[in-house]
Amino acid sequence: MKLRLATPGPTEVPQRLLLAGAREIIHHRSAEMEELIHEINEGLPPLFGTSRPVYTIATSGTGAMEAAVANCFSAEDEVLVVSNGYFGERFQAICRNYGLTVHVVESDWGTSVDPQRVAEAYAQHPQIRGAFVVYSETSTGALNDVEAIGRIFRDTDVVVVVDAISGLLVHPLDMDDWGLDVVLAASHKGFMLPPGLAFIALSDKAWTAVESSSGPAYYWSFERLRHFYPMSSSSPAVSLLLGLHESLKMLGEEGLPDFRKRHATLGRAAERALRELGFCTFIQEPHRRSHVITSALAPEGIDTSQLLKTLSTQYGLTMTGGQAHLKGKLIRVGHVGAADALDLCAVFGALEMSLLTLGHRFTPGSGVGEVVRTFHTFHEEVK
């Protein structure tokens, strides 16, 4: 049985990138590695919308989140965390574990946080040293307005930390123009790679915070990253770097505008197909829906835990469900990375067959048909 992924990450890795990562290992202090790293370091900053270096470390996205806290802040610093889902809650937990005092601007899961509420919270807590926000909250598919949040703190000493782990590439992000100070990303989303690499970009304001921080860090140390740059501060994940080099070529060949159009169309098609099958779109504001995933509440009588099990065991398709209080109620159709129209047709073919197995009544082919109609309409529009 062929295995397929329709998750918000990790994503299916194109064969071209798998083969790049399967090359012979090269030494991380060799001339060949220096050339490879040089090309990677040239290719990353434009994707972040910055003229500054982007640092690559061997870790998960969560490691990058923790590194930002460890390097930019000291125990008892007060910070603001924008939280509207699972990963906003993770930022809260990391900050508290490092002894920071956390003020939370919270919004219901499935909604985006109003930037005006962030401005009001800052007025109530003018002593904060940092503000944390998740760009694309993959626990629900909600997109936060990080550009507006960046503007609130642009002319202040507050360091704005953005988890763009899934949102980068798929949605526009202009770090320098938006006034963002620490932007985090990872390899297993839009970069189409396996998990294991994280990317960190820092503004001058962020470096000032790093230099005054008393937090403990060695492997996570941004100072070490800067000292060894452009090379790695520790033994790097060589195979993943070989894949990243090829990933940057693929992104350049498609071009970010077309990459984003493809993801927007995938999101639109998935949303329409789910509604056709009786699901209810979870994110109500269209302009606040992430194009990384499409989340939806299941039709009455369908337990999504059973649905996901059927997809996996009978059709080899891994899809994710709701987290925390949404477990058993929500499905999250991932379509980030290299996914295209035919991939989405396969996903909805498996979804339809699984729903039929579970006794759900609908017109077979209606979901897949909606994917086809959406992509056909898109191609007619761009002619």
Whether 184 has a pLDDT exceeding 70, the answer reads yes
Residues 276 and 320 both lie in one domain: yes
- Is residue 118 in some structural domain? yes
* Domain-terminating residue out of 253, 277, 300: 253
Q: Provide, rounded to the nearest whole percent, the portion of the chain with pLDDT above 90.
A: 92
Residues 155 and 229 both lie in one domain: yes
The pLDDT of residue 323 = 85
Residues 272 and 342 both lie in one domain: yes
- Is residue 268 in some structural domain? yes
Per the model's pLDDT, the better-predicted residue between 45 and 232 turns out to be 45
For 275-322, what is each residue's pLDDT tens digit? 999 999 999 888 899 999 999 999 999 999 999 999 999 999 999 999
The pLDDT of residue 379 = 63
Residues 91 and 210 both lie in one domain: yes
Measure the CA angle with vertex 181, ends 178 and 184; round to 5°.
100
For 50-88, what is each residue's pLDDT tens digit? 999 999 999 999 999 999 999 999 999 999 999 999 999
CATH label of the domain that carries residue 360: 3.90.1150.10
- Is residue 266 in some structural domain? yes
Residues 85 and 226 both lie in one domain: yes
CA distance linking residue 176 with residue 50, whole number of Å: 5
Helix, strand, coil abundance in the chain, percent, nearest 5? 45, 15, 35
For 4-44, what is each residue's pLDDT tens digit? 999 999 999 999 999 999 999 998 888 999 999 999 999 99
For 92-102, what is each residue's pLDDT tens digit? 999 999 999 99
Per the model's pLDDT, the better-predicted residue between 29 and 197 turns out to be 197
Residues 327 and 201 both lie in one domain: no
Strand order in the sheet with 101-106: 54-58, 197-202, 182-186, 159-163, 130-134, 78-83, 101-106
Strands 159-163 and 182-186: parallel
* Domain-terminating residue out of 204, 233, 253: 253
- Find out whether 226 is annotated in a ligand binding site: no
In this prediction, residues 111-133 reach a mean pLDDT of 98
In this prediction, residues 259-282 reach a mean pLDDT of 97
The pLDDT of residue 286 = 85
Residues 163 and 227 both lie in one domain: yes
With H, G, I as helix, E, B as strand and everything else as coil, classify residue 184.
strand
CA distance linking residue 135 with residue 192, whole number of Å: 18
In this prediction, residues 245-256 reach a mean pLDDT of 98
DSSP at 156: S
- Is residue 60 in some structural domain? yes
How many domains would you assign to the chain?
Answer: 2
The pLDDT of residue 380 = 58
Residues 144 and 98 both lie in one domain: yes
CA distance linking residue 340 with residue 328, whole number of Å: 27
Residues 70 and 124 both lie in one domain: yes
CATH label of the domain that carries residue 234: 3.40.640.10
- Is residue 7 in some structural domain? no
* Domain-terminating residue out of 214, 238, 253: 253
As a whole number, the mean pLDDT across the chain is: 96
Residues 271 and 313 both lie in one domain: yes
Report field, pTM of the whole predicted structure over 0.85: yes
Contact (CB, 8 A) for 203 and 209: no
The pLDDT of residue 216 = 86
- Is residue 192 in some structural domain? yes
Residues 235 and 114 both lie in one domain: yes
The pLDDT of residue 241 = 97
- Is residue 246 in some structural domain? yes
- Structural domain of residue 79, as residue ranges? 15-253
The pLDDT of residue 383 = 47
Contact (CB, 8 A) for 182 and 203: yes
- Is residue 122 in some structural domain? yes
Confidence category of residue 325, pLDDT binned at 50, 70, 90: confident
Residues 211 and 324 both lie in one domain: no
